[in-house]
Structure 1
Amino acid sequence: MNKKPLRILWIILGFLCLGLGTIGIILPILPTVPFYMATVFWFARSSSRLHEWFIGTKLYEKHLDSFVKRRAMTAGTKLRISGMVTAMMAISFLCMKNAPIGRACLTIVWIWHLWYFFRRVKTVKPDGNFSECME
C-alpha cells in the first residue's frame, strides 16, 4: 500500500491542529493544549523533520513541554482546559434533553475528566517548579 497519501493527510491534519491551537491562544473558546498535542501526534506520524521543528518552537515549550516531560501543567492551563471541556459538555448536555442515558454518560465522562486533571496531572508554577501542595 502506498503510504504517501496517508502521510500527506497526516501533515494536513498536523497543520490544521497547529492553526486551531494557535488561534486558541487568542480565542478562549478553542483549547490550545489538546490541539498542540494532536499536532505533535500527526507530525510524528508524518515527518520526523516537522515533528522536530514543532517540539523546538516556543509554542510547544510554553504549552506542552511540562506536560510531556513531567505529566504536569500550570494551574491556569488546567483551569482553561477544564473550563472549555465543561462548557462544551454543558452544551451537549442541554441538547440531550430527550436522551437520559446520553446525559448520564456525559456526566460520567465530565466527572472523570475533572478528577483526572486535578488529581492525576501534577500542578507546576508558571516558572516550571512543582507546587508542593498540588501534587
Structure 2
Amino acid sequence: MRIVWLIGGLLALGCGLIGVVLPLLPTVPFLLLATFCFARSSERLHNWLLSHGTFGPMIEDWNRNGAIRPSAKRAATLSILVVFCISLVFGVKTTVLVIQAVVLSAVLFFIWTRPNG
C-alpha cells in the first residue's frame, strides 16, 4: 500500500509544481495532498516537503490554521484576472465566460475568506 501512497504523492507534487506556472492549476491543494500521501509512504519526502524553503511555510500555515499568505492571495488573484482577460481577448463564447466568471469568483471568495498566514 505504501507504493500507492508514494505514487499518489509524486503525482500530486508534480501537479503542484505545474500549478506554479499554470494559473488555473492550484499549487497548495496539490502540495497538501502530496504531504498527506508522503506521510503514509515516505518519511524522507514528507520531511523534505515540510522543510522546503518555499512550499514548507505554505503547508505549515494551512495545517496550523487554514491560512493563506497575503502574497499568495494577491498572486492567485492576479493570475485569475490574467486568465479571464486572455479568454476575453480570444473571444471565448459568452456561456463559457459566464461559467468561468462564476467558478473563478468562487475560488477568489474562498481564497480571500481564509485567514492570513
Residue matched to 2:67: 72
Larger mean CA deviation between 105-114 and 67-76 belongs to 67-76
Residue matched to 2:76: 81
Residues in 2 aligned to 1:72 and 1:8: alpha-carbon distance in whole angstroms? 26
TM superposition shift of 1:61: 3.1
Q: Are 1:111 and 2:105 an aligned pair? A: yes
Decide which of 51, 58, 69 is 1:63's aligned counterpart: 58
CA contact (8 A) 1:71 1:121 kept: yes
Structure with greater strand share of residues: 1
Question: What amino acid does structure 2 have at the position aligned with 1:123?
Answer: N
- TM-score, L = length of structure 1: 0.60
TM superposition shift of 1:117: 1.9
- Structure 1 unaligned runs (5+)? 125-135
Higher relative contact order (CA 8 A, sep 6+): 2
TM superposition shift of 1:19: 4.5
CA contact (8 A) 1:13 1:39 kept: no
Between the two proteins, the alignment pairs up a number of residues equal to 113
TM superposition shift of 1:81: 1.4
Task: Say if 1:111 and 1:72 are closer, same or farther in 2 by CA, change over 3 A.
Answer: same
TM superposition shift of 1:87: 1.4
Q: Secondary structure at the match of 1:64?
A: helix
Fraction of identical pairs, as percent: 15
Which of 1 and 2 has greater Rg? 1
Task: Say if 1:45 and 1:63 are closer, same or farther in 2 by CA, change over 3 A.
Answer: closer
Question: What amino acid does structure 1 have at the position aligned with 2:54?
Answer: L
Decide which of 42, 54, 58 is 2:49's aligned counterpart: 54
